[in-house]
Amino acid sequence: MSQIVNTALTCPITGELFRDPVMADDGHTYDRKAITRWLRENKTSPITREHIELATLRTNYTVKRLVDNYRIENKLPLPVDDEEEERMSVKSVESSINNFSHFSENEEITIINRNYFDNMQEDRTGDSTLLDILSDDINTFVLHPAPLGDTIRCRIVRTKNSPFQRLEYYMHVERNNGRKIFILTARCPRFRVKYQISTNKTDIGKLKSNNIGDTHFTLSAYDQKLASIAYVSIFFRETNIFGFNGPRKMTVSLQTATIDREDEHWSNILQLHNKTPVWNEESASHVLRFHGRVTQASVKNFQLIGNDYPDHIFLQFGRVGSHTFTCDYKYPLCALQAFGIALSSLHDKLGCE
């Protein structure tokens, strides 16, 4: 029995699921390849027949997010870019589906397209096309995952004027030209563990502690419609009975598809954990390789990896100054998730410092 797909997730030209959805001047969304081929022979919209310029096509990140979640939820392969597609062998849908972890109702699992990670090209740290929407729509940017194969580099600055004033954090995206673009801020009253996260115009999410020791955090969106995009659960635990003289442990579970509100069951969860640092005799400290992105030792520094992908770093965070930190993230994380995870590491925790 064939599955009925929401037409909002399919290209009106091909009738197939979007791979690279773009919005045209007619207000409709098409797959980039399909509309490009169409406009080479026709200069008008296939729907409204009005004139369209090829150069004005722009990625529809909202639709892309919805399609990616639909693919993951239904165990369909995620699209890859053209260069990778050319060098990857053709595999059947059945083979692609087998590349996902299967799970029972109570399992915490990793659902990531193995085709992508097993055949991943060199990470690109140049300016991503996702950054092109920053000046127009910051809210869309912070909720959209990093593009496949890209690393989004960010910097977080903390203001801490006195022990009795509220903490404030500011997150900026770093461009290749040295320019920094503000995207998110977080504010937390002293002696409380609830961070309000905002863009320059909108309160977008909150991070709060769920226990007395501040070792379990949850990140959620204010808009319930965005719950499946933003939800993250973060756990910290001490490395020994006294909670010091060693790196702390960190586990992160994040939503990758939808959440069933009726039974509060997470249908698709990606579980990450921090990479174990190696003891360095020369520096007498535990160290990780940050390739120049982190310059100061700190118990708060970390790199997140997946259970099945020990060499793939999804997120790395570390200190570069007294109140300055770098935060670099990759697919499927978005800026809001990366910021929330970083804030949880920055917050002082009883028995884990």
CA distance readout (Å), 263 to 133, 220, 248, 259, 267? 36, 18, 33, 9, 11
Rounded to an integer, the average pLDDT of 219-244 is 62
Task: Supply the pLDDT for residue 339.
Answer: 94
Q: What is the pLDDT of residue 202?
A: 83
Instruction: Give bridge partners of residue 255 from the DSSP assignment.
Output: 269
For residue 295, CA distances in Å to 171, 290, 317, 321, 339 come to 18, 8, 11, 8, 19
Class of domain 7-102 (CATH, top level): alpha beta
Q: How many CB atoms lie within 10 A of CB 327?
A: 25
Give the pLDDT confidence of 164-186 residue by residue, as tens digits.
667 899 999 998 777 899 999 99
pLDDT in tens, 234-253: 887 655 444 445 567 889 88
CATH classification of 129-346, choosing from 3.30.465.10, 3.20.90.10, 2.60.40.10, 3.40.50.2300? 3.20.90.10
Q: In this structure, is the dihedral angle defined by the CA atoms of residues 322, 127, 186 and 344, taken in order, positive or negative?
A: negative
Q: Using the 8-state DSSP alphabet, how is residue 346 labeled? A: H
- The residue with tokens 């064939």 is 2
Least confident of 126-135, 192-201, 237-246: 237-246
Q: How far is CA 317 from CA 161, 195, 280, 314, in A?
A: 23, 18, 20, 10
In whole angstroms, what is the distance from residue 69 CA to residue 78 CA? 9
Residue 289 neighbours by CB under 8 Å, 6+ apart: none
pLDDT digits (tens, 9 = 90+) for 100-130: 333 333 333 233 333 334 434 445 554 555 6
Instruction: Give the bridge partners for 235, in sequence order.
Output: 216, 251
Distances (CA, A) of 227 to 196, 206, 259, 260, 340: 16, 11, 8, 11, 14
The domains of the chain are located at 7-102, 129-346
pLDDT digits (tens, 9 = 90+) for 8-39: 788 999 989 999 888 887 878 899 999 999 98
Is it the case that residue 84 has pLDDT exceeding 60?
no
Higher-scoring residue by pLDDT: 321, 308: 321
DSSP characters over 245-267: SSPPEEEEEEESS-EETTTTEES
Statement: residue 220 has pLDDT above 80: no
pLDDT band at 277; cut points 50, 70, 90: confident
As a whole number, the mean pLDDT across the chain is 73
What tokens does 163 get?
Answer: 């022990």
Whole-model pTM: value is 0.61
Give the other-Cβ count within 10 Å of 324's Cβ.
13
Backbone angles phi, psi at 2, to 5 degrees: -75, 150
